[in-house]
Every structure is written in structure tokens, then in C-alpha cells.
Amino acid sequence: METQRLVLPEDLNHLGFLFGGRLLAWVDEASWIAASLDYPHCQFVTVGMDKVEFHHSVRQGTILSIRCEREREGTTSVSYRVEVFDRRNPGASPIFGTLVSYVSVDDTGRKRALR
């Protein structure tokens, strides 16, 4: 799955670059949507991200492409490889990449099988 985001003034930190927490929220949201589309009968909660390291700064007006691909499936959990690119610079290396893991839960918050 792939989605795009436009970096707006309210997404910037005090130095004029994309606030890291905002990007993490977008990554979490995009990969949660991917998981929810792949497993429409499941309710997911985020377990974690394997590594948080920003490779390039991002300025206002940048169009980001957030790409999510399922990497691992367990009994109750699933993980997605997420990479973020500058949409206008398709040959460039990713701005950010991580592995986001989710667990399927029931209405009481207990783990539930994916299938």
C-alpha cells in the first residue's frame, strides 16, 4: 500500500523542518491502514517500531510517499516494512524506514488470532 502526505507549516518544528513525531504518526497510521485492509476482520494495536532513524531533513511543501509492505505474519501479530520517500525525487534514498508491528486484539484487549 502507498499513500502520500503534504508537509504543511503546522507539521514543522521550531527550526523549520518536519517534526519527527509527526512523521512517526503518519507511518503508524499508514501501516495500520495497510494491516486493516489486509485483515479486515481484525482490530490492531501498535506493538512497536524496530528502529527510528531519520536519514534526511524534510522542508515545508515536500510531498512524501509512504510505502507499506507486509513483511512477517505470526499467529496474532503482523509486521510491515515502511519506507518514506520524497515523491518529487523518485531516485533518492528513503528519508525514513522502519518495521512496524501490530497485534490483533479482541474487544477486551486480549490477543486474537489473525485467521
φ, ψ dihedrals at 31, nearest 5°:
-75, -30
pLDDT exceeds 90 at position 8: yes
Place of cell 486493516: 36
Place of cell 501498535: 46
Residue 13: CA count within 13 A, CB half-sphere: 10
- The class of domain 2-105 in CATH terms is alpha beta
pLDDT tens-digit readout, 45-94: 999 999 999 999 999 999 999 999 999 999 999 999 999 999 999 888 99
- Whether 57 and 18 have beta carbons less than 8 Å apart is answered as yes
**What whole-number distance in Å separates Cα of residue 82 and Cα of residue 45?**
17
pLDDT tens-digit readout, 19-45: 999 999 999 999 999 999 999 999 999
Global pTM reads 0.94
State the DSSP code for 93.
P
- Whether 67 and 4 have beta carbons less than 8 Å apart is answered as no
